[in-house]
Amino acid sequence: MKILLQRTDRVSIMVNGCPVSSSGRGLLLLIGIGADDDESSIPYFIDKITNLRIFEDEKGKMNLSVKDIGGDIAAVSQFTLYADTKKGRRPGFSLAAPPEKALKIYNKFVLELKGTGLNISEGVFGAHMEISLVNYGPATFMIE
């Protein structure tokens, strides 16, 4: 599993021109599920994401987590995180999990994320989405 995490002021997600979710200050998670992934790594990712100290404290130091600030989290599936761009001009996606497997793991991940008590919004798995965000910082981190 790979998660590209962005610290945000706000996020909105649309499908076919219709809003499906939005969130305020917190995180946008772009979640890639690999062909070799299973549900066993989910607790690690939930703990890392919710406790990663990437928000500033009163002294301006990254010392607070999304939990500490009571922030929101927007979760979006993103199979292209597993793109292989080493050869040719078209990315290959053989490293990404097939959609049926990825959906199962993604749904379990989101369910456990919702169990943290934070406000969780999400995109639509497999849909073509328009995601608007204000990246706060900018601050973007890859978690693997």
| Active site positions, annotated | 80
Question: Which conformational region is residue 70 in: left (phi greater than 0), alpha (psi within -120 to 50 degrees), or beta?
Answer: left
CA distances from 125 to 45, 58, 59, 128 (A): 19, 37, 39, 9
Tell how strand 26-32 and strand 72-77 pair up: parallel
- Residue 99 φ/ψ, nearest 5 degrees: -50, -40
Residues contacting 124, CB < 8 A, separation 6+: 13, 15, 20
Reference 136, options 20, 39, 10, 41; nearest CA is 10
Peptide bond into 43 cis (omega under 30): no
